[in-house]
């Protein structure tokens, strides 16, 4: 039996949702509006996929991914520690599987990430000799980028090379290879993967000082005559504190460099935090006061989250000519890395779908913004 329910929208739009009752009498969600369809004329809509999702272990999540998203980013399996665990050993199984999954489902892949100081294999972290480190750097890019050339839409070539003040992060790559390692990485990636796009990706690079550093870094690549196609703003923000002005200014400034602008790891967290950003090595102590919503999200926070997402997508739509992709960092709240970072074992609510894969108020606000937007 199919029942149709209308969710009343404040400004008069109605979004139909069909529920079907199964034999046991409980209702399973069958069809809701689709993000990728609603924003088809604007930008692609992506999600991060974790290993069980790539292995298609959960049919409900799998169906939701195919229904809602037209591009995906592997959350972990293309990072160096997974794909290149030893000097002479690469592990391409899951990345190959993802490529096949993408082809089968007409879903593009943004490959994440070639050069990043985190989630490096132990052997690479232990390389002392500069020449050996450069060999690792070059071989890693050549091998991985070449294998998936044209199979993936794009590469996050370098991830998080900057400090908050816009200077270069003192990473193992900077220490061993010097200031030019980012340009070198793009040069190598351009040669190994001529058919895929090349991006620089970072968090907080909408903040003025870091943005200025990001622009300097990307200008340097352009001035060297090396290809860079776009810039990713990760977009790990906090409810009630989304920096809309900085985001808009960044869209304008990055686009003025001739680059595609993307929001690559969007989530809006609702739990307490004493620092800004997304440095995976930064942690906070466990304490029950840091985990206040174990039994559910209070309505006031749910509404604030919905309104933040709504305003964000209105801003994205305003600049739809400059933005090429918006990717969420996960499909549903259960999957989100923010349940485990920067404090372990929390119950977080940063995405558009809840722990049962049901759409949250924020989802409907985003869909409504997309449906009501006047496109010429």
Any idea which residues carry the catalytic annotation? 160, 265
Nearer to ligand XIL by C-beta: 117 or 365?
117
Taking alpha carbons only, the member of 315, 131, 333 closest to residue 233 is 315
Q: What's the min distance (Å) between Cβ of 42 and ligand XIL?
A: 24
111 binds ligand XIL (CB under 6 A): no
Nearer to ligand XIL by C-beta: 53 or 302?
53
* Alpha carbon distance 139, 133 (integer Å): 10
Q: What's the min distance (Å) between Cβ of 181 and ligand XIL?
A: 17
Q: What's the min distance (Å) between Cβ of 48 and ligand XIL?
A: 6
Nearer to ligand XIL by C-beta: 62 or 265?
265
83 binds ligand XIL (CB under 6 A): no
Nearer to ligand XIL by C-beta: 153 or 278?
278
Q: What's the min distance (Å) between Cβ of 265 and ligand XIL?
A: 6
* Alpha carbon distance 212, 168 (integer Å): 12
159 binds ligand XIL (CB under 6 A): yes
Count of positions on this chain that bind ligand XIL (CB under 6 A): 8
Q: What is the 3-state secondary structure (H, E, C) of the chain?
A: CEEEEEEECCCCCEEEEEEEECCCCCEEEEECCCHHHHCCCCCEEEEEECHHHHCCCCHHHHHHHHHHCCEEEECCCCCHHHHCCECCECCCHHHHHHHHHHHHHCCEEEEEEEECCCCCCHHHHCCCCHHHHHHHHHHHHHHHHHHCCCCCCEEEEEECCECCCCCECCCHHHHHHCCCHHHHHHHHHHHHCCCCEEEEEECCCCCHHHHHHHHHHHHHHHHCCCCCCEEEECCEEECCCCCHHHHHHHHHHHHHCCCEEEEEEEEEECCCCCCCCCCCCCCCCCCHHHCCCCCCCCHHHHHHHHHHHHHHHHHHHHCCCCEEEEEECCCCCCCCHHHCCCCCCCCCCCCCECCCCCECHHHHHHHHHHHHCCCC
Among 15, 49, 69, 75, binds ligand XIL (CB under 6 A): 75
CA distances from 236 to 201, 211, 260, 269, 277 (A): 12, 15, 19, 8, 7
Q: What's the min distance (Å) between Cβ of 40 and ligand XIL?
A: 26
Residues between 171 and 230 that touch ligand XIL (CB under 6 A): none
Among 234, 324, 339, 348, binds ligand XIL (CB under 6 A): 234
Nearer to ligand XIL by C-beta: 206 or 368?
206
Contact yes or no for 67/100 (Cβ under 8 A): no
Among 81, 197, 265, 368, binds ligand XIL (CB under 6 A): 265
278 binds ligand XIL (CB under 6 A): yes
Nearer to ligand XIL by C-beta: 103 or 344?
344
Nearer to ligand XIL by C-beta: 76 or 222?
76
Q: What's the min distance (Å) between Cβ of 28 and ligand XIL?
A: 28
51 binds ligand XIL (CB under 6 A): no
Among 76, 143, 276, 307, binds ligand XIL (CB under 6 A): 76
280 binds ligand XIL (CB under 6 A): yes
337 binds ligand XIL (CB under 6 A): yes
269 binds ligand XIL (CB under 6 A): no
Neighbouring C-beta atoms of residue 10, cutoff 10 Å = 8
Q: What's the min distance (Å) between Cβ of 24 and ligand XIL?
A: 34
348 binds ligand XIL (CB under 6 A): no
Positions in the binding site for ligand XIL (CB under 6 A): 75-76, 159, 234, 265, 278, 280, 337
């Amino acid at each position: 039996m199919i029942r149709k329910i209308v969710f009343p929208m404040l400004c008069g739009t109605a979004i139909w949702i069909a529920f079907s009752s199964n034999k046991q009498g409980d209702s399973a969600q069958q069809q809701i509006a689709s993000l990728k369809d609603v924003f088809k004329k604007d930008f692609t809509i992506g999600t991060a996929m974790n290993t069980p999702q790539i292995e298609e272990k959960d049919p409900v999540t799998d169906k939701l991914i195919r229904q809602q998203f037209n591009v995906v980013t592997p959350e972990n399996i293309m990072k160096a520690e997974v794909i290149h665990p030893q000097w002479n050993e690469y592990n391409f199984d899951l990345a190959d599987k993802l490529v096949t999954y993408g082809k089968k489902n007409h879903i593009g892949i943004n490959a994440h990430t070639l050069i990043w100081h985190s989630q490096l294999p132990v052997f690479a972290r232990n390389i002392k000799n500069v020449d050996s480190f450069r060999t690792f750097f070059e071989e890693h890019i050549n091998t991985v980028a070449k294998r998936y050339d044209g199979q993936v839409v794009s590469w996050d070539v370098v991830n998080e090379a900057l400090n908050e003040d816009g200077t270069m992060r003192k990473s193992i790559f900077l220490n061993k290879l010097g200031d030019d390692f980012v340009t070198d990485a793009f040069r190598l990636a351009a040669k190994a993967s001529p058919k895929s796009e090349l991006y620089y990706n970072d968090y907080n690079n909408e903040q003025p000082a870091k943005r200025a550093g990001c622009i300097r870094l990307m200008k340097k690549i352009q001035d060297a005559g090396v290809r860079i196609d776009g810039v990713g703003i990760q977009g790990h923000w906090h409810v009630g504190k989304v920096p809309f002005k900085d985001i808009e200014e960044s869209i304008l400034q990055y686009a003025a460099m001739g680059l595609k602008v993307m929001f690559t790891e969007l989530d809006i967290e609702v739990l307490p935090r004493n620092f800004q950003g997304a440095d995976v090595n930064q942690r906070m102590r466990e304490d029950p006061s840091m985990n206040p919503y174990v039994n559910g999200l209070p309505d006031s926070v749910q509404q604030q989250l919905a309104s933040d997402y709504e305003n964000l997508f209105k801003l994205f739509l305003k600049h739809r000519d400059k933005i090429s992709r918006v990717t969420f960092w996960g499909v549903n709240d259960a999957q989100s890395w923010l349940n485990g970072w920067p404090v372990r074992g929390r119950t977080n609510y940063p995405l558009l779908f809840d722990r049962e894969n049901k759409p949250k108020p924020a989802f409907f606000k985003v869909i409504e913004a997309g449906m009501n937007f006047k496109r010429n």
